[in-house]
Amino acid sequence: MRSPLLLLVLAFASLNTPPASSQEVRVPLPKKSKYTPVQELNRDGVKALEKHDVAKAKRLFYKAYLLDPNDPFTLNNLGYISEIEGDMERARRYYDQAQANTAEAVIDRSTERKLEGKVVAKVAGQVGTEEMHLNQLNSEAVRLLNQDRAPEADLILQQALKINPNNPFTLNNMGFAKEKEGELEQAIRNYQRAANTHSTELIVVTENKDWRGKTISEVADRNALNASLQLGKAGALDARVARLNLQGVSAMNRNDRATARADFEQAFKLDPQNSFTINNMGFLAELDGDKETAQTYYEQAQAAVRNREKVAVATRAEVEGREMRHVAEQSSTLVESTLDAQAEAKRQSSTRPTLKTRDKPAPGSKPAPTPQPATRQDQSHPGTVYTPPEFRKPHDQSPNSPAQPSPQPDDTQKPPN
């Protein structure tokens, strides 16, 4: 579905008079005169947008605004620019002002030709709440993807897909998020779904200048190819284990414990000597409340293979960039301190010791509460889930990166470049 937002960039207005009946007196109107300075600036701004030069268009529209802050076309155009930049509240304010000042002005030039000749009052700001919300979600997702916060972007894009499951920009963004989370198969599926929409909508805002002006379907198709090539290179054992660890970290950051557990356990089966994998198994043991087993894993991780490699992705941002052995040592120290504190509390307690096994609690005792997963906001635990550095950025050398379409309710940002 095409959003009216893409169609709203207007140049100038001419008077629109209703047709006269046969009994009415016909008053001849003079031919269209030269454009006013405000009209010229808006026309030039439209031309700049047609060439995907958003910065120049913005300057021209602001110059027009300084000359006439009540011109409906200028207000509408500034709303369009605000939406491209992801400021939806400001865009809405501009659109509301444009509607209030439209009168019977007629569109002379637009980025969407079919709008030319229509009354601006019937076009400006006519964006549904649902479409605006979709664009907001994609804008936020693109911002997070640019900050390497793929799990958070993933959750936001899931909301966007509930609004419109077939939007090509959202699908492409989700593909990019999945790729950064190490889930290449899902990334390819999302890219292909975006490409199969055969959308002709153009990418307007993206970090990759080479992508500006290209259709979202074309970009998604290229992303699918790049992800497929990456998947073909991921057959080696080290690559498979690293990708499983990355998937587990990402799942944990989305609070998806079941998926994280399955990924970590599979990685451990493939390579039980990998320092990152052993550490993550210790994390799972902590989640289960089994601190003794967690302590054993953390101690093993300090001396295991790849223990000197640096953490690339973790549940705690402050441990990223540190060597794996040092992070495992920190986790081990914290667990040991907790065990010592618990032992001391029992020694000073007047209650008699009770026997309990790992599979069954002691009679009359209460089950230990299940610890909550560490998150980036939880300051009580160091980062506990890690992945090797080679998966920090799936395609550092490729054009894959979230891109943002020209504001359209359904067309929301796709992985920039």
> Which two structure tokens, joined as six digits, stand for 351?
């209650």
Q: E strands along 110-211, which residues?
A: 203-206
Phi, psi values for residue 323, rounded to 5°: -70, 145
Q: Which among 137, 149, 127 is positioned nearest to 404, based on CA atoms?
A: 137
Of 74 and 130, the structure prediction assigns the larger pLDDT to: 74
What are the pLDDT digits (tens) for 338-386? 887 887 787 777 666 666 665 555 555 555 554 444 444 443 454 444 4
pLDDT of 15 reads: 33
pLDDT of 262 reads: 94
The interaxial angle of helices 184-196 and 216-232, nearest 10 deg, is: 150
Q: Is the pLDDT of residue 161 over 50?
A: yes
Q: Which amino acid is at 389?
A: P
Q: Is the pLDDT of residue 398 over 50?
A: no
Of 27 and 171, the structure prediction assigns the larger pLDDT to: 171
Question: Which pTM value belongs to this model?
Answer: 0.60
Of 106 and 282, the structure prediction assigns the larger pLDDT to: 282
Q: Is the pLDDT of residue 395 over 50?
A: no
**Band of pLDDT at residue 198, cut at 50, 70 and 90:** very high
Total residues found in the chain within this entry: 417
pLDDT of 134 reads: 83
Span 297-307, average pLDDT: 89
Task: Name which of 19-33, 83-97, 130-144, 240-254 the model is least confident about.
Answer: 19-33
What are the pLDDT digits (tens) for 223-276? 999 999 988 887 788 888 988 999 999 999 888 999 999 999 999 999 999 999
Task: Name which of 41-55, 58-72, 369-383 the model is least confident about.
Answer: 369-383
Span 153-182, average pLDDT: 94
Burial 73-109 (b: 16+ CB within 10 A, else e): bbbbbbbbbbbbbbbbeebbbbbebbbebbeebbbbb
Q: Is the pLDDT of residue 33 over 90?
A: no
Q: Is the pLDDT of residue 158 over 60?
A: yes
**Band of pLDDT at residue 315, cut at 50, 70 and 90:** confident
Q: Which helix (H) or strand (E) holds 404?
A: strand 403-405
How far is it, in rounded angstroms, from Cα 306 to Cα 390? 12
pLDDT of 339 reads: 82
pLDDT of 174 reads: 95
Task: Name which of 8-12, 67-71, 214-218 the model is least confident about.
Answer: 8-12
pLDDT of 148 reads: 86
Span 3-15, average pLDDT: 34
**Band of pLDDT at residue 60, cut at 50, 70 and 90:** very high
Query: 202 in helix, strand or coil?
Result: strand
Q: Is the pLDDT of residue 106 over 90?
A: no
